[in-house]
Amino acid sequence: MIYLFYFGLGLCLIIIQTTIIPFIYFLGRFYDLIIPMVLFLSAHRPLSKGIPLILIIGFIMDCLSGGAFGLYCITYMWMYLIVGWITTYIHAHSTILLIFLVAVGTLIENTFFIVTSGSAASLFTFTALQSFVSQAIWAMITGAFMLISLESIQNMWDRWDAEKRGK
The CB density around residue 55, as the number of other CB atoms within 10 Å, is 16
- Residues 6 or more apart in contact with residue 22 via CB below 8 angstroms: 28
pLDDT for the residue 53: 93
Question: Residue 149, Cβ neighbours under 10 Å: how many?
Answer: 13
Is 107 within a domain?
A: yes
Is 26 a member of any domain? no
**Domain carrying residue 75:** 2-20+31-162
Is position 39 within any domain?
A: yes
Q: Percent of the chain scored above 70 by pLDDT?
A: 91
* In-domain check, residue 25: no
Query: pTM for the complete prediction?
Result: 0.84
Domain contains 42: yes
* 167 inside domain: no
pLDDT digits (tens, 9 = 90+) for 91-116: 766 777 878 888 888 888 877 777 77
156 and 49 in contact (C-beta within 8 Å)? no
Between helices 95-116 and 34-44, what is the axis angle to 10°?
120
User: Best-predicted range by mean pLDDT among 19-23, 69-73, 128-132?
Assistant: 69-73
Could you tell me if residue 37 is inside a domain? yes
35-90 residue pLDDT tens: 999 988 888 888 888 899 999 999 999 998 777 788 899 999 988 998 888 888 87
The number of domains in the chain is 1
Whether residue 36 lies inside any domain: the answer is yes
